[in-house]
Chains A and B, each alone.
Chain A
Amino acid sequence: MSAAPLWQAFRSAAAEAWAGGAGALLPLGFFAGTCLLVPFSVGSKAATLSAIGPGILWLALALASLVTLERVFQADVQDGALDLWVQLDQSLSVIAAIKTLAHWCVSGLPLVLLTPIFAIMLQVPADDLVPAMLAYALGGVSFFMWGGVAAALAASVARGGLLIALLALPFYLPAIIFGALALNEGLGGTAILFLAASTLFSLGVAPAAMGAALRLAAD
């Protein structure tokens, strides 16, 4: 099995994420907008904000991942590219996982890198930033993998966006829980290990489901 198709899958998905109607900026804007609304909805007291800031960032991250995922596979179904991917010798599950990870690199990773700015705005203590970013990166991968399963299932459905959210959100729970705990415990605690384990689990299980769902979407 040559690596060229995998690399091309990554490249084309990343290019599509960049190109598709300000695709990469969309989740960033959504993320920023969500964070912006928080002080207005819960009050601007520094103590309140620093208590809930990390949690708000988790929520914004989870929702922002859903915004991008709708198009990951739906576009492939509509423009016929999925038919070509399905007919490759390579495992469709691996291709699907790589495409999802490419979308994470384009629209999930920038959110992680921007986290410090929003974290400081939301009064999160500066010492917590490194574990927070690590946790957001791990959790983001898990969000994208489960969201990718939901997106693949909803790919053949017109207006699948809300369906994706309904399907994916229960699977976001472990990453949210362990991630939030990891922020309290820091890098020394066990929660970050559980978070990493749940992300690994998603990397192991979700691709098979994505592959099966995409075969269904192509049928």
Chain B
Amino acid sequence: MQDTVLVKGHQLSAIRGERILYRGVDVEVRGGEAILLRGSNGAGKTTLLRQLAGLSEPQFGSVVRTGDHHWIGHANGLKAHETPRAHLSHWARVWGSAARLDLVLERMTMVRPADVPSRMLSAGQKRRTALGRLLLVERPLWLLDEPFNALDTGGQALLSTMINEHRERGGAVISAMHGDIPIEASREVTL
């Protein structure tokens, strides 16, 4: 899996309203890499990530993905009434995952609040639940939008480890990020 191109964005552009966010951006990600998207607020990091994920259609340019990917967006994807266990078991079934839920919850240190509806969880706990989805099925590409937001130091360390392990297995990460970088990046793309 190492060195295979997992996603390739060619000459991507984004227009917000009548304003050009960015144009002519080329992104190519191979197995084992971690690419950071940098840029000030409103520069279009989220938009580029969404284009790479196939959520937004680029006005110009093209995206080719060769494998499956995981998506962790700004919003965690949790329903207010959903418990972390229900959320993870729901997506595990949708994706046909054979992962053991109790192990995933344990890894994310979410065993204790596993059965609390998410509206009563803290922002960090919700984020940990969402990140738990990364462990449900093995997918070569992770697309992460500000994944360290809301996480405490323990959570940040955990996510860094997860990302490193994923890269050692030959996976790749593209992450939009501002501020300090708790992971070692192979490349940065600045918008």
Residue positions of A touching B, CB distance < 8 A: 2, 4-5, 7-9, 11-12, 15-16, 19-20, 75, 78-81, 83-84, 86-88, 218-219
Q: A4-B93, A218-B55, A219-B55 are in contact. Are A83 and B79 (CB under 8 A)?
A: no
- B75 A12 Cβ-Cβ under 8 A: no
Q: Kindly report which residue of chain B lies nearest to residue A82, judged by CB atoms.
A: B77
Task: A2 to B94: give the CA distance in the assembly, Å.
Answer: 9
With a CB–CB cut-off of 8 A, which chain B residues contact A15? 79, 81-82
Task: A20 to B82: give the CA distance in the assembly, Å.
Answer: 10
- A79 B77 Cβ-Cβ under 8 A: yes
- A16 B81 Cβ-Cβ under 8 A: yes
Task: A83 to B74: give the CA distance in the assembly, Å.
Answer: 10
With a CB–CB cut-off of 8 A, which chain A residues contact B73? 80, 83
Q: Which listed residue, B53, B75, B82, touches A87 by the CB 8 Å rule?
A: B53
- B96 A2 Cβ-Cβ under 8 A: yes
Task: A78 to B119: give the CA distance in the assembly, Å.
Answer: 14
- B81 A20 Cβ-Cβ under 8 A: yes
User: What 4 A-B pairs come out closest when comparing CB atoms?
Assistant: A80-B75, A19-B81, A80-B77, A5-B94
Task: A20 to B80: give the CA distance in the assembly, Å.
Answer: 8
- B94 A81 Cβ-Cβ under 8 A: no
- A81 B81 Cβ-Cβ under 8 A: no
Extra contacts besides A12-B79, A79-B79 (15): CB < 8 Å:
A5-B95, A8-B93, A11-B90, A19-B79, A79-B76, A79-B77, A79-B78, A81-B77, A83-B77, A84-B91, A86-B54, A87-B53, A87-B54, A88-B94, A219-B55
Q: Let me know if B4 is at the binding interface, CB within 8 A.
A: no
Q: Kindly report which residue of chain A lies nearest to residue B56, judged by CB atoms.
A: A219
Instruction: Specify the main secondary structure of chain B where it touches its partner.
Output: loop
Task: A154 to B81: give the CA distance in the assembly, Å.
Answer: 23
With a CB–CB cut-off of 8 A, which chain B residues contact A86? 54-55
Task: A81 to B93: give the CA distance in the assembly, Å.
Answer: 15
**A–B Cβ pairs within 8 angstroms, 14 of them:** A4-B94, A5-B95, A8-B90, A11-B90, A15-B82, A16-B79, A16-B81, A78-B75, A79-B77, A83-B55, A87-B53, A87-B71, A88-B94, A218-B55
With a CB–CB cut-off of 8 A, which chain B residues contact A7? 93
**Using a Cβ cutoff of 8 Å, how many contacts connect chains A and B?**
65
B contacts with A, residue count (CB < 8 A): 24
Q: Which listed residue, B77, B93, B96, touches A84 by the CB 8 Å rule?
A: B77
Task: A12 to B69: give the CA distance in the assembly, Å.
Answer: 22
With a CB–CB cut-off of 8 A, which chain A residues contact B56? 218-219
With a CB–CB cut-off of 8 A, which chain A residues contact B90? 8, 11-12
- A80 B76 Cβ-Cβ under 8 A: yes
With a CB–CB cut-off of 8 A, which chain A residues contact B76? 79-80
- B93 A83 Cβ-Cβ under 8 A: no
Task: A107 to B69: give the CA distance in the assembly, Å.
Answer: 35
Task: A15 to B71: give the CA distance in the assembly, Å.
Answer: 23
Q: Kindly report which residue of chain B lies nearest to residue A6, judged by CB atoms.
A: B94
- A83 B94 Cβ-Cβ under 8 A: no
Task: A86 to B71: give the CA distance in the assembly, Å.
Answer: 11
Q: A5-B94, A88-B94, A218-B55 are in contact. Are A83 and B75 (CB under 8 A)?
A: yes
Q: Which listed residue, B55, B69, B74, B96, touches A4 by the CB 8 Å rule?
A: B96
Q: Which listed residue, B57, B80, B93, B95, touches A79 by the CB 8 Å rule?
A: B80
Task: A83 to B77: give the CA distance in the assembly, Å.
Answer: 8
- A84 B79 Cβ-Cβ under 8 A: no
With a CB–CB cut-off of 8 A, which chain A residues contact B80? 19-20, 79
- A81 B79 Cβ-Cβ under 8 A: yes
Task: A8 to B79: give the CA distance in the assembly, Å.
Answer: 14
- A83 B81 Cβ-Cβ under 8 A: no
